[in-house]
Chain A
Amino acid sequence: MHLKKNKTGIFTVLNIKGRIDTIHSADLEKEVNMLFDSGEKYLIFNCGEMNYISSSGLRIFLIAQKKVMAMNGKLYLSNMQPSIQEIFRISGFSNLFKIFATQEEALQNQ
Chain B
Amino acid sequence: MGNRKIKHFAIENRIEELTSLAEQIDNLAEEWELSPALAMNLNLVIEEAISNIIFYAFKDKVKHEIKISISLENKRLTIIITDNGIPFNPLEQQQPDISLPAGERPVGGLGIFLISQIMDEMNYERNKNENILTLTKSI
Task: State the A residues within 8 Å of B (CB).
Answer: 19, 21-23, 51-52, 54-56, 58-59, 62-63, 65-66, 69, 82-83, 86-87, 90-92, 95-97
Contact = CB atoms under 8 A, between A and B. Distances in A.
B44 A69 contact: no
A83 B36 CA distance: 9
Given A54-B114, A92-B99, 16 more contacts: A22-B18, A23-B16, A51-B40, A52-B43, A52-B44, A54-B44, A54-B51, A54-B111, A56-B51, A59-B107, A59-B108, A65-B102, A66-B107, A69-B103, A82-B37, A91-B114
B22 interface: yes
Contacts of B36: 83
B34 to A, nearest CB: 13
Interface of B: 15-16, 18-19, 22, 36-37, 40-41, 43-44, 47-48, 51, 96, 98-103, 105, 107-108, 110-111, 113-114, 117-118
A65 B107 CA distance: 11
B102 A66 contact: yes
B117 A90 contact: yes
